[in-house]
Structure 1
């Protein structure tokens, strides 16, 4: 009887249907429940990530949103009701984000299939999203293993990319691990400009502001992205930050937008706010720079060595 109240909504991109049929995955239950996919390569609470290979050696990534605790679902439902939107699984948010970015012409992963099961049409029970793998290098690999020149070139391109998003009123919590990087293949950078593609999307981390630039939101999201990079252990030095902001300013200028005064200080202030909110470490907050000129210029460290080491320890402890 309960099945009468279960609603399964799903879709497959027409051009990928034959390939999914060949893999025997052109079905909601097989993509959501099939044990034949093996073990996930990454798991989180109520979330599984799988890497699939087709007969043509293409790579796909499957994200499954599993049933969550009733209290968590109710909290999300109330939050979305207040915003005038229905609650959804994280997998559906990924699909929605990819469609939003596609409509705006922003390079993002291509969704092959998506699905969601809802109880009583309101309760998001479980869901999935299947995306095509993106060619290129992971931006974080270039940042960590590339030369200093390669790292600065990457961060300048990241600045251009974020500037383009912000000029359209699109604000994203972005980390280097969320980007795929295609380095230039010729010396003519204007003709073959490096391309960055967003992956591992989550619509909860994306905000649209009437498709226009908003300096307050821009500083908030740049600060949040900087903080998330620190949490991941990616310590950005002064030269790195200057390269990123140079690309960001240049991109905004190309759209007729000027970065407001004290913009850099506003970004760092938002980093401090995030640190204070998540780490509760008074010594760390006190030592964090409040201005760009206070950022350490030795190697990869943002603060004095002991502060950076303290941040790493807190990150490892799961704070």
Structure 2
């Protein structure tokens, strides 16, 4: 049994034996007589998954929920090459797309022959930190493409979902976009890179120019400051006064990057290894 969180940037997996992640990248495999690369066969196609995709010519960009659902079985097959065939998985779907839940479940169960539970995004994080929560909580999942939020309140001893949404293009992709537009002219060629490649540059805080490593950490820092303000402004538009929330939980790949002082809550929680929080909660439910 595994908890698996397939995001637009990274796929996170939690099992009894192992916790790991890999880029949510895939490409059609181009046969090469000297290439040593792990492949996954799905249907009549052969794919390369994860880090090795950077060396492939026929990349497939995962840009929306349709691609995420359709290629989820391929990513799951890749996971099973690492930890073996699974009989059950728990995963999630962005809150905005909860109407796709049954379709998503059918795709996974028919393609992978596995029992599957699918939760709204944010519930995994809730399950991961439930014992630390107060009676009123805002849960944020800062992913690559989206920012999901969920307000949970405890009333008469029971948890109730108060409000939630998926905000498109407000994940780390927005910070990467700010960084892209801020690159100086001598690095202007990088503005045409794919988002998956730009994300890698963003995470490293450096870029190579004619074989030389160029530090762009200052550009990254300024991009994150601008991105943090974007989150603050959008959340105020969505839910009003953030300062009225007792506890804010910030998880996902962007949790350690934004300035948490924008939240005026009584308590701000960043789970250990926050990018795995969602998958840990899924695993906790399924175990």
Where on the TM-score scale, by shorter chain, does this alignment land: which range?
under 0.3
Q: Which has the larger radius of gyration?
A: 1
More strand by share: 2
Higher RCO (Cα < 8 Å, 6 or more apart): 2
Q: Which has more helix, going by share of residues? A: 1
